[in-house]
Amino acid sequence: MQQNTQKTLRFFAKHVARFKWLALGILLPLIATVSLGIAIPYFYKRFFDILASGTTPVESAPKLLSLLLMVVLFNGITWVLWRWVTYGMSIFQTRILANMNNECFDYLHGHSYDFFNNSFTGGLVKRVYRLTGAFQVVVEKFTWDLIPLAIRTLVIFVVLLAVNPLISFIMFGWTLFFFALSYGFALFKLKFDVARAEADTRIGAFMADSIANNFNIKLFSNLDAESKSYADLTDDWAKKYKKSWNIGTIAEAVQALLMILLEFAIFYYAIRFWEQGRLTVGDFVWIQAYLIDLTSKLWGFWRVIRALYESFADAEEMTIILNTPHEIRDAKKAKQLVAKHGKIEFENVNFSYAGKQEVLKNFNLTIKPGEKVALIGPSGGGKTTVVRLLLRLFDIQKGRILIDGQDIKKATQDSLRSEISFVPQEPMLFHRTLTENIRYGRLEASDKEVIAASKLAHCHEFIMGFPKKYESLMGERGIKLSGGERQRVAIARAILKNAPLLVLDEATSSLDSESEMLIQEALLNLMKNKTTLVIAHRLSTIMRMDRIVVLQNGQIVEEGTHGDLIQQTSGLYKRLWELQVGGYLNA
């Protein structure tokens, strides 16, 4: 835990260092403000010494007024400086928070496809907010509490040292003991704060997942079960929060007792020194002013430490993510991949998902430039894995994948994926306009090009039926569209991208027969002059492919054209074809 706290502090320090001159411009006025504020009780000491001196009001009034003017002057200066510090903080914090959010956004998106499969979206968003929220707490506590408290303690110690060394050392020694005790309590409480933060994350992640699956909950009438699961999580959170809260309550009780003892000790010795004539009435006022000021700030010290460590606990989960290396990374001298011809080669590829048996074993496949190849086979045979490896969503354990002779592992990920148009089986859309979703294939495309791609993908017709047409918002993940409509938007996006390599993963699986006929025509146009890799379960959609490759258990068991494979007396492809064409009818 402490190691992660140090990493969090280093992360904060890195961003603060970018604005070090602005930070210095805040720190120096802050020191001056606190120091001037400590000087003000001295004028009140002199004020009461004059009142107690026995001089006549006529003689005392001018001196008292001059002291009052000094108090007003010092307060005026501190007021101006505080406004400067406040204004500087508004600039300082907002700039750093923007930078932190940007870094978290970029680093999160740099993680692998597998990372997001294993993480709750709601949980990730909450972790980013907690990290930036923790920075706000840390900066504010240091600026408004810890730095002023440190300055106050040192200046008061030095001033009281000149007035009465014994009282000065009592107050300073007590303060150090108070700091150490509060810090010890904070460290002890930290592990309970971490447990509370983790429980809170689980609540947020469960709620996000449950809301996203609201339709399933209704469909299966499982609201009671969901509510019970959520209640179990909130109950666990409440227990952990209560334990953390109780530790804090005990710490505050100990602090209050220490403050009572300090006040008694200070005034006990002050009375003794006053009896000896070594302290004046003004000195009593002066010491009391410092005592009230110091104890009031120290009373909040435990809350400051607690807030700091709670913030570090809140930030820990995101800190871990920021310190977790990206699983898929560009090589140090990665080059830009350019697919001039479009030849794809899998050479002796071996791959297995983490902790699972091999999916591909010595897999070899060559796709010629412009060739249309379909991958078919039973579920779990490795078809989708081949596509994921081509897109480098995972790294292979052995072998090579080449595009026009270029090893994709030695190319930048962005350049690789920019050469491939991919239409997934379940396309996800942004909660943005239809124009923005389609233009995502090529951000610089004009509105005319967007509409032309939409017409080719046969989604222009249903788009024009919306009240706002192309400016209609799609809802989270494109929920406002049917599955077939989402797939046609994804095809329009691929058409607009117009990359030399095309990958279709069940691209017509969500379409009705009429739409499929229209899309097949659009896809044939899209495939012209492109190397195409198609994954399909519906064999009727791949009859026109140049070559059909049949995968089973991660290996190629058959390949050829539809005509060649259907003529074989026995074979997996023929068996699958007969099952789809006539098997259900015979059954």
DSSP string for residues in 341-374: S--EEEEEEEEE-TTS-EEEEEEEEEE-TT-EEE
Q: How many Cα atoms occupy the beta-carbon half-sphere of 232 within 13 Å?
A: 7
Residue 440, φ and ψ in degrees, nearest 5: -60, -20
Query: Do 186 and 294 lie in a common domain?
Result: yes
353 domain-assigned: yes
Residue 511 pLDDT:
61
Query: Do 432 and 414 lie in a common domain?
Result: no
Residue 465, φ and ψ in degrees, nearest 5: -85, -10
46 domain-assigned: yes
Query: Do 431 and 492 lie in a common domain?
Result: yes
Q: What is the maximum span of the chain, computed from C-alpha positions, in angstroms? A: 126
Does the structure show a pLDDT above 80 at 417? Answer: yes
Residue 585 pLDDT:
41
Does the structure show a pLDDT above 50 at 212? Answer: yes
Q: Which of 322, 355, 371 is the last residue of a domain?
A: 322
Q: Which of 297, 322, 347 is the last residue of a domain?
A: 322
Output the CA–CA distances (angstroms, integers) from residue 158 to 31, 161, 293, 294, 481, in the order listed.
16, 5, 16, 14, 72
Residue 409, φ and ψ in degrees, nearest 5: -75, -20
Query: Do 126 and 271 lie in a common domain?
Result: yes
Distance CA 21, CA 27 (A): 10
Burial, 403: exposed, middle or buried (Cβ in 10 Å; 0-12, 13-18, 19+)?
buried
Q: For the whole model, what pTM was predicted?
A: 0.70
Distance CA 316, CA 130 (A): 9
Token pair in block for residue 443:
């951000």
Count Cβ atoms below 10 Å from residue 80 Cβ, excluding itself. 12
What's the mean pLDDT in 8-17? 86
Query: Do 141 and 49 lie in a common domain?
Result: yes
What's the mean pLDDT in 488-503? 87
Distance CA 17, CA 90 (A): 17
Instruction: Indicate the range of 325-339, 465-479, 494-508 predicted with least confidence.
Output: 465-479
In the chain, what percentage of residues exceed pLDDT 70? Answer: 90
Burial, 94: exposed, middle or buried (Cβ in 10 Å; 0-12, 13-18, 19+)?
exposed
Q: Residue 475: which H helix or E strand, with range?
A: none
Using 50, 70 and 90 to split pLDDT, how confident is the model at 46?
Answer: confident
The domain tally of the chain equals 3
414 domain-assigned: yes
522 domain-assigned: no
User: What domain range includes position 120?
Assistant: 2-322
Residue 584 pLDDT:
44
Q: Are 488 and 456 in contact (CB under 8 A)?
A: no
Distance CA 182, CA 186 (A): 6
Query: Do 108 and 189 lie in a common domain?
Result: yes
Closest by Cα among 297, 302, 300 to 251? 302
Distance CA 324, CA 118 (A): 14
Output the CA–CA distances (angstroms, integers) from residue 208 to 123, 124, 230, 507, in the order listed.
8, 11, 11, 29
Query: Do 200 and 346 lie in a common domain?
Result: no
Token pair in block for residue 238:
């409440």
DSSP tally for the chain: helices H, then strands E: 21, 10
What's the mean pLDDT in 233-241? 88
Residue 402 pLDDT:
92
Q: What is the CATH number of the domain that holds 251?
A: 1.20.1560.10
524 domain-assigned: no
Does the structure show a pLDDT above 80 at 410? Answer: yes
Q: What is the CATH number of the domain that holds 489?
A: 3.40.50.300
Task: Write the pLDDT tens digit of every residue in 60-72.
Answer: 778 778 878 888 8
What's the mean pLDDT in 399-404? 91
Residue 586 pLDDT:
45
Give the position of tokens 């209640």.
231
329 domain-assigned: no
Query: Do 66 and 208 lie in a common domain?
Result: yes
Query: Do 118 and 197 lie in a common domain?
Result: yes
Residue 271 pLDDT:
73
Distance CA 199, CA 240 (A): 8
Task: Write the pLDDT tens digit of every residue in 334-354.
Answer: 888 888 888 999 999 888 887
Query: Do 340 and 211 lie in a common domain?
Result: no
Does the structure show a pLDDT above 80 at 459? Answer: yes
211 domain-assigned: yes
Check residue 404 and give left, alpha or beta (phi > 0: left; psi -120 to 50: alpha): left
Three-state secondary-structure class, residue 142: helix
Residue 587 pLDDT:
39
The rounded mean pLDDT for the chain is 81
Using 50, 70 and 90 to split pLDDT, how confident is the model at 79?
Answer: very high
Q: Which of 479, 498, 517 is the last residue of a domain?
A: 498
Q: Are 575 and 401 in contact (CB under 8 A)?
A: no
195 domain-assigned: yes
Distance CA 243, CA 237 (A): 10
Query: Do 96 and 154 lie in a common domain?
Result: yes
Residues with Cβ within 8 Å of residue 199, at least 6 apart in sequence: 233, 236, 237, 240, 241
Crossing angle (nearest 10°) for helices 483-497 and 447-456: 120
Does the structure show a pLDDT above 50 at 568? Answer: yes
What's the mean pLDDT in 248-263? 78
Give the position of tokens 């913030």.
311
Task: Write the pLDDT tens digit of every residue in 104-156.
Answer: 888 888 887 777 767 666 677 778 888 888 888 888 888 888 888 888 888 88
